[in-house]
Amino acid sequence: MAEGKLYFRPIGFLYGPAADAAVEDGLALPLAGGPIAFTAAVLIEGNATNSRRRLFTAQALRNVRDSDLGAVLKRVTAPRPAYAGLSLTRPVLMGIVNVTPDSFSDGGLYDETEGAITHAAELAAAGAQIVDIGGESTRPGSDAVERDEELARVVPVLEGLAGSPAVISIDTRKSEVAKAAAKAGAKILNDVSALTYDPACMTVAAKAGLAVVLMHAQGEPKTMQENPTYDDVTLEVFDYLESRIEACVAAGIGRARIAADPGLGFGKTLAHNLSLLANLSLFHGLGVPLLVGASRKRFIGGLGQGKEPRSREPGSHAAAIAAAAQGVQILRVHDVAGSHQGLEVWRASMFGTEN
Ligand code: YH5
């Protein structure tokens, strides 16, 4: 059947008891092991420049005899093991902690360190199961930060977080920072270059037993928003993440320790970001947990009004819920308390309050 590669986008989602009942009756299939189920799927055959789309119901899929389809179905429906010790059956919040001079008014390293430790503790108390500590701004237009500067920013914060109930994630592209972070207790390496900026990150993650987040980006932070182009953004991002997952597995980072992220805002126009958001469920075909970070990014303001990052919160909450509704397991957010409230209300309305 397949001409070229086969991609699979689950659609028609059911939640909670309705999902369980439909799976039981063979009318739906579990998305990444549940508790969301999908009742149909778009099969995409081809590549980024030439592809064909066909819609199948979950029932009709059972009559398709194709080994590529069998393999992708297995990846899409298989339960995801715990990631960095966290169960993924409910949305997990990753709270963002920036340890960069521009996020605090008066500079001084002591204030910066204390401020970041306090902020991380507040995020954990508000419902963040992961706190992501970053000492290099990778926003559009940012310059790279020297290794020693980045180490000086993040290591005291990581040390101050020893004993925190949250899983600690280090947002870095540098192996020396990843190594120091692992030593200070970080369990996740969140790398916006998917371990390509500094290839030694791969060895550090494998040796230290870190879980990793592999994020897609086109270009370098400084220039990535100048003229990003794709033939088909979702298929190209999918292929890239798939190849990075395979590279990590080959380097000894177990599949259970890998999460994938389409990298909203990283070398993407508004249209690219919206395509990715609308097609997030495709990425379950990677067979690993998914992470999405839309929080306060420029494209949120590009839709509503929102010039100031803080005024982008309502749109950020909507994006987080839209991602969770497609089964994205981990959401990277600034406003943990607000996101937690929004997701809990969404969950209770869609799943009922029993589980
Ligand atoms: C991400 O998506 N993003 S740093 C520009 C903004 C606001 C926020 C005001 N690290 C991600 O958060 N790691 C960053 O406009 C990330 N996924 C993962 N895994 C950029 C950021 C931001 C940029």
So what's the pLDDT on residue 22?
98
Contact 328, 36 (CB under 8 A): no
For ligand 1, pick from 266, 268, 277, 335 the residue to mutate: most ligand atoms within 8 Å of CB: 266
E-state strands within the chain: 5-15, 29-30, 36-46, 51-57, 92-98, 130-134, 167-171, 188-191, 211-215, 258-261, 291-292, 330-333
Identify the residue with better confidence: 212 or 352: 212
For ligand 1, pick from 215, 268, 312 the residue to mutate: most ligand atoms within 8 Å of CB: 215
What's the CA gap between 232 and 47, in Å, rounded?
8
Which residues does residue 329 pair with via DSSP β-bridges, in sequence order? Answer: none
CB of 296 closer than 6 angstroms to any ligand 1 atom: yes
So what's the pLDDT on residue 63?
86
What's the whole-number mean pLDDT along residues 107-121?
A: 88
Residue 102 CA to ligand 1 centre (angstroms): 15
CB of 291 closer than 6 angstroms to any ligand 1 atom: yes
What type of residue is 222?
A: K
Nearest one of 247, 243, 239, 231 to 5, comparing CA atoms:
239
What's the whole-number mean pLDDT along residues 106-114?
A: 77
What's the CA gap between 151 and 135, in Å, rounded?
8
So what's the pLDDT on residue 306?
72
CB of 192 closer than 6 angstroms to any ligand 1 atom: yes
Statement: residue 355 has pLDDT above 60: no
Contact 19, 30 (CB under 8 A): yes
Read off φ and ψ for residue 142, nearest 5 degrees. Answer: -75, 145
| Catalytic residue list contains 147 | no
Statement: residue 64 has pLDDT above 90: no
Look at ligand 1, atom 23, and give the residue with the nearest C-alpha: 139
What angle (nearest 5°) sits at the alpha carbon of residue 275, between those of residues 271 and 278?
Answer: 135
Query: How much is the pTM?
Result: 0.96
Of the pLDDT bands very low, low, confident and very high (cuts 50, 70, 90), residue 301 is confident
Q: Encode pLDDT of 85-97 as tens digits.
A: 999 999 999 999 9
Of the pLDDT bands very low, low, confident and very high (cuts 50, 70, 90), residue 102 is low
Statement: residue 109 has pLDDT above 80: no
CB of 142 closer than 6 angstroms to any ligand 1 atom: no
Statement: residue 196 has pLDDT above 70: yes
| Catalytic residue list contains 179 | no
What's the whole-number mean pLDDT along residues 312-335?
A: 98
Contact 340, 313 (CB under 8 A): no
Q: Which domains does the chain have, with CATH numbers?
A: 5-77 (no CATH), 92-351 (3.20.20.20)
Statement: residue 72 has pLDDT above 80: yes
Of the pLDDT bands very low, low, confident and very high (cuts 50, 70, 90), residue 103 is very low
CB of 175 closer than 6 angstroms to any ligand 1 atom: no
